[in-house]
Amino acid sequence: MSPPDALPPWRPLLRGAREREGRSPQARWLQLATVAADGTPRVRTLVFRGWAGATALDLLTDGRSAKPAELVHQPAVELCWLLPRARSQFRLRGCLQTLSLEQEPRERERHWQMLSPSGRALWGWPPPGEPFNSEAAFPERLPDGSPLPDHFQLLRIALNQVELLELTSHPHRRRCWRESTGWVEELLNP
């Protein structure tokens, strides 16, 4: 077993695969799968917003969108991160983490400050998924210093299993790491 803050073996592999993408914004896009209240699946693309320690990652969303309610009902998620230049697919399983009362506002504020004015603007738009109203305001920018809206939501996902499929060799290479076994690498058939 490695110390809790040591990087698990899949982290350098993921970093290497992301580096192969160069400056492409796609290197930060991943798909988040959730389960809706009726038990049916939902999936959508989100931007990776950074690591929170060795095995948790941060996502940002609009609290008025569908996914936060789905996560209340089922906090377990799967993320799929395709890094095409490395011909690698990472499948990350985890659970929505509840932040402490001191940590949550601090971390939300930190992410809010780090966004560019155009990145922040989305949280100035009307509620996602509601009928479009052409009269409504859709700002292109929210300048630095704009107040943090209540619906600016941080999703911190604590990961408990990572699977990597690489198509770079014959046969393809599939590996899995689980938190429950100390992130020891398991080789699987592709």
Ligand X SMILES: Cc1cc2nc3c(=O)[nH]c(=O)nc-3n(C[C@H](O)[C@H](O)[C@H](O)COP(=O)(O)O)c2cc1C
Compare residues 47 and 114 and give the one whose CB is closer to ligand X.
47
Does position 44 interact with ligand X (CB under 6 A)? The reply is yes
Binding-site member from 63, 84, 126, 128 for ligand X (CB under 6 A) = 128
Q: Is 173 helix (H, G, I), strand (E, B) or coil?
A: strand
Closest to 92 measured CA to CA, from 38, 19, 165: 165
CB of 30 to ligand X, least distance (A): 9
Name 137's Cβ contacts closer than 8 Å, sequence gap at least 6. Answer: 124, 125, 126
Does position 46 interact with ligand X (CB under 6 A)? The reply is yes
Compare residues 129 and 143 and give the one whose CB is closer to ligand X.
129
> Rounded to an integer, what is the distance from CA 78 to the centroid of its chain?
9
Q: How far is CA 43 from CA 31, 46, 119, 175, in A?
A: 6, 10, 21, 23
Binding-site member from 18, 30, 57, 67 for ligand X (CB under 6 A) = 67
Does position 61 interact with ligand X (CB under 6 A)? The reply is yes
Burial (CB count within 10 angstroms: exposed 0-12, middle 13-18, buried 19+), residue 170 = exposed
Q: Among 64-72, 97-105, 156-164, 168-176, which window interacts with ligand X (CB under 6 A)?
A: 64-72
CB of 184 to ligand X, least distance (A): 32
Does position 42 interact with ligand X (CB under 6 A)? The reply is yes
Adjacent-strand bridge partners of 57:
51, 157
Region 73-112 residues binding ligand X, contact defined as CB under 6 A? none
Does position 129 interact with ligand X (CB under 6 A)? The reply is yes
